[in-house]
């Protein structure tokens, strides 16, 4: 991809009916491959807490950590549309904190959009960040940062009443200044209504094919984790076994002395070993 994908490009894609391909990933090496594959967007999500660090939920990651990994992804993928995830307590404490922390992503990482897990209580946060000149993706539907309050995450918009609330919330988010929406775990029929009504791009995370784009976590795409997956997840490869096999072959060759071979070693320059031997002899 020779040209940087911008929010304007995503708007053009929505209007033209071109689907947006987005991936969540968290490190330089993986992001290089994802960018070369030609995706439009990378989200550096707070799901790094689980995927990279092994936590049970997304809550433990900090602003400093998210800034560090987002900057790494930008170095690897200079031309994708880069979205940075606002972690837990980076925007809930005050409007000033929200704007300041959002600004860190734009100043320190090269992100083009910040994502906020948003309820109606966060409309002022979305508006403040937007008013400060920064693009905001409002994340509605299932909100993983609410796990301790809810106890369990479940599909959203599955009754008429809940669906109406979600449709209304999506409209309010756009009115508050959201430049895009991410719908997670929302009933397909409701996601379709929201997408058709929304003037901004709507990205689906397990919310059906009728949104403007789709996002999955890279480890799920590659089949790298044997843990149970949500219903919407799909592995497009099964790389667990090949990776384990490669590392196992490495360990076996190390133990048997077959790796490294002499051809894989650096060597002292001709004639220098004799000089070194003489020097060592003189030392004794």
Catalytic residues: 184
- E runs forming strands in the chain: 20-24, 41-44, 81-85, 113-117, 135-141, 180-184, 202-205, 213-217
CB atoms within 10 A of CB 132: 16
DSSP 15: H
Residues 6+ apart with CB under 8 A from 185: 141, 142, 153, 154, 155, 156, 205, 206, 207, 230, 232
CB atoms within 10 A of CB 2: 4
What is the C-alpha separation between 34 and 29, in angstroms, rounded?
9
Residues 6+ apart with CB under 8 A from 224: 218, 239, 240, 243
Q: How far apart are the first and last CA of the chain?
A: 62
Which residues are registered as beta bridge partners of 137?
Answer: 115, 180
């Amino acid at each position: 991809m020779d040209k940087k994908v911008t929010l304007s490009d995503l708007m053009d894609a929505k209007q033209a009916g071109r689907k947006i391909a987005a991936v969540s990933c968290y490190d330089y090496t993986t992001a290089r491959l994802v960018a070369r594959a030609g995706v439009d967007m990378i989200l550096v999500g707070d799901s790094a807490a689980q995927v990279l660090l092994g936590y049970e939920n997304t809550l433990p990651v900090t602003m400093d950590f998210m800034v560090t990994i987002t900057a790494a992804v930008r170095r690897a993928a200079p031309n994708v549309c880069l979205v940075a995830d606002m972690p837990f307590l980076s925007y809930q404490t005050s409007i000033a904190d929200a704007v300041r922390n959002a600004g860190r992503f734009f100043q320190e990482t090269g992100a083009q959009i910040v994502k906020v897990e948003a309820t109606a209580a966060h409309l002022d946060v979305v508006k403040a960040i937007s008013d400060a000149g920064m693009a905001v993706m409002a994340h509605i539907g299932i909100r993983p940062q609410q796990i301790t309050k809810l106890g369990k995450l479940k599909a959203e918009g599955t009754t008429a009443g809940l669906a109406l609330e979600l449709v209304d919330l999506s409209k309010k988010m756009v009115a508050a200044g959201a430049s895009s929406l991410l719908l997670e775990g929302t009933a397909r029929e409701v996601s379709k209504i929201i997408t058709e009504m929304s003037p901004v791009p709507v990205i689906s995370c397990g919310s059906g094919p009728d949104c403007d784009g789709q996002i999955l976590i890279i480890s799920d795409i590659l089949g790298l984790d044997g843990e149970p997956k949500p219903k919407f997840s799909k592995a497009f490869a099964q790389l667990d076994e090949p990776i384990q096999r490669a590392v196992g072959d490495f360990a076996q060759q190390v133990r048997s002395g077959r790796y490294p071979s002499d051809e894989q070693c650096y060597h002292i320059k001709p004639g220098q070993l004799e000089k070194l031997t003489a020097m060592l002899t003189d030392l004794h």
